[in-house]
Every structure is written in structure tokens, then in C-alpha cells.
Structure 1
Amino acid sequence: MSAPRPVPVPDVRSAPYWEAAARHTLVLARCGRCSAFALPPGVTCPHCHTTDPDFSYEQVSGRGTVRSWTVVRQSALPGLADEVPFALVDVELDEQAGLRMIGRLLDGPNSPLRVGDRVRVAFEDVAAGVSVPAFTLGEVAS
């Protein structure tokens, strides 16, 4: 029997992100001072450097553009050894220039990828009540 897949352990600052992910909704922290998104949110805003960012969480589209990717062929993490190979994509989200997120590409490691390809958020249910944002190729149908 293989080890269970690792799951996120939310802290006070990241709990709203993970609670929304469990509902298959992508939310990001927005600084209350400069209105920029921060991923992940820290003690200070990475944009305006305020030490009191008063972050609020807002739903975002989850659409973005592939900046780069890698195919993972070996995993030292328990619970992922049975899932290799898989592709991880580095995505710039549409909401803000330079707002990047890394996630698994659910289309598989052999998907034809190019820098600039469009992706949209999807979610992997990894345990009861726990979902992790990931990506799929293409745009969301309107």
C-alpha cells in the first residue's frame, strides 16, 4: 500500500485560500493598502511593503498564460511516487502582471505545451474536504 498524498496544512493567513479551494473556488489575498494580489500572502505586502497589509480574499478567474513548465519523473515525496510522471506549469494569472502560480497540469505530462498557452484553474480532490488548485489547457467556455 502506498503512502497517502501530502495535503496542505493551513495556517491563520492561508486558511481562507484552502477553504475556498475545497469548494473549487480560487481566491487570492489582496492588500488593503495598495490593492495588489499577493501569492502567498506574507507578513508584509510584496508590492507596497506595508507591514499591515490587511489582506482580504477575493475570487479570481483562474485564467492565465503558461510561462514555463517541467515534467516531474521522480518524486521523493511520499504519496506522489505512484503519480509520476506529471507536469507542473508556471502560470501568470490574468488578474495582475507578474502574479504567478505553480500547479499540476491535469492534461498529463505528454500534453503539447508551449510558452504562452492559455490555461484555466481546475482542482484536484486529494483528501476528504481538501482540494488543491491545478490547471487544464484552454479557456473557460462562456
Structure 2
Amino acid sequence: MTAARPIPIPDDTSAPYWAAAAQHVLTVARCGQCGFLALPPDIVCAACGSTEPGYTFVPVSGAGAVRSWTVVRQSFLAGFEIPFVLVDVELDEQTDLRLIGRLLDGVTDGLSVGARVRVAFEDLEPEIAIPAFELVR
């Protein structure tokens, strides 16, 4: 029997992100003062320095380019079939807006820096989905 994967436990800040993910919508936090996109949001906006950024979560395309990746051959977390690939993706909406996620294509020769990917979602439980990526072929 395979052990269950860890699941996110939303807090007050992350709850809108995880609620959208459950609906297969990727969102990021937008500063209410300057419009800067952040993932995850911080208590101070990295762009304008506001200590009251008033973040709201807004949908994004989920399209981006691979900046780097790693092949995980030994997992210390239960529920992952190894090997698996984690990709560091720069989302198209803003320079340096990055998200790390599992590449659902698995270990593949088609992966390179700059490879185009799009968001996909792994449904772990009812109402719990994790953003991941697929190569754009």
C-alpha cells in the first residue's frame, strides 16, 4: 500500500490560493498598492515596500518557461513515486514571478532551460489540488 501524499493546510493568507487551485485555477497575490505580483505574498511588498499591500489573489495563465529543474531520486516524503522532476518556472505574467512544481511528464529528454510549460493540477482529495506543470509540445 502506498502512503498518502502530504496535503496543504491553508491558513488565512493562503486560503484563497488553495481554494482557487481546487477549482484548477492558478492564482497569485497582487499588491493593492502597486499591482506587483507575488508568490507567495509577503508582509511587505517587494516592489513598492508597502507594509499594507492589501493583496488579492488574481488568476494567471499558468504558462511559463523552465528556469531550472532537479530530478528527485530519493524522497523523504511519503506518497511520491520516484524518480520525479521538480521544475522552477518563471510565469509569463511578470519577470521573476516563479513557481516550483512537479513536472507531470516525468523524467524526459525534452526538458531544457527555456522549455515552455503550462500549469496542470494534481487532485489529491476532494477540494484539494496541487499546481504542477506539463511540457507544451
Query: How far apart in 1 are the matches of 2:134 and 2:44?
Result: 31
Query: 2:56 corresponds to which residue?
Result: 56
Query: 1:89 corresponds to which residue?
Result: 87
Give 1:34 shift: 1.1
Give 1:111 shift: 4.3
Query: How far apart in 2 are the matches of 1:63 and 1:52?
Result: 29
Stretch deviating more after TM superposition (52-61 or 104-113): 104-113
Query: How far apart in 1 are the matches of 2:79 and 2:106?
Result: 18
The aligned runs of 1:19-98 (5 Å cut-off) are 19-80=19-80, 83-98=81-96
Give the unaligned 5+ runs of structure 2: none
Q: Is residue 2:117 matched to residue 1:123?
A: no
Query: How far apart in 1 are the matches of 2:115 and 2:2?
Result: 34
Identity of aligned residues (%): 60
TM-score, with structure 1 as normaliser: 0.92
Give 1:4 shift: 1.2
One-letter identity of the residue aligned with 1:33:
Q
Aligned CA RMSD, in angstroms, stands at 1.1
Per-residue CA distance 1:58-101 (angstroms, 9 max, x = gap):
11000000111111000111222xx1111111000000001111
Stretch deviating more after TM superposition (45-54 or 66-75): 45-54
Give the unaligned 5+ runs of structure 1: none
The number of equivalent residue pairs is: 137
Give 1:103 shift: 0.5
Give 1:109 shift: 1.4
Which residue of 103, 106, 115 corresponds with 1:105? Answer: 103
Query: How far apart in 1 are the matches of 2:107 and 2:96?
Result: 25
Give 1:110 shift: 2.5
Give 1:45 shift: 1.3
Give 1:48 shift: 1.7
TM-score, with structure 2 as normaliser: 0.95
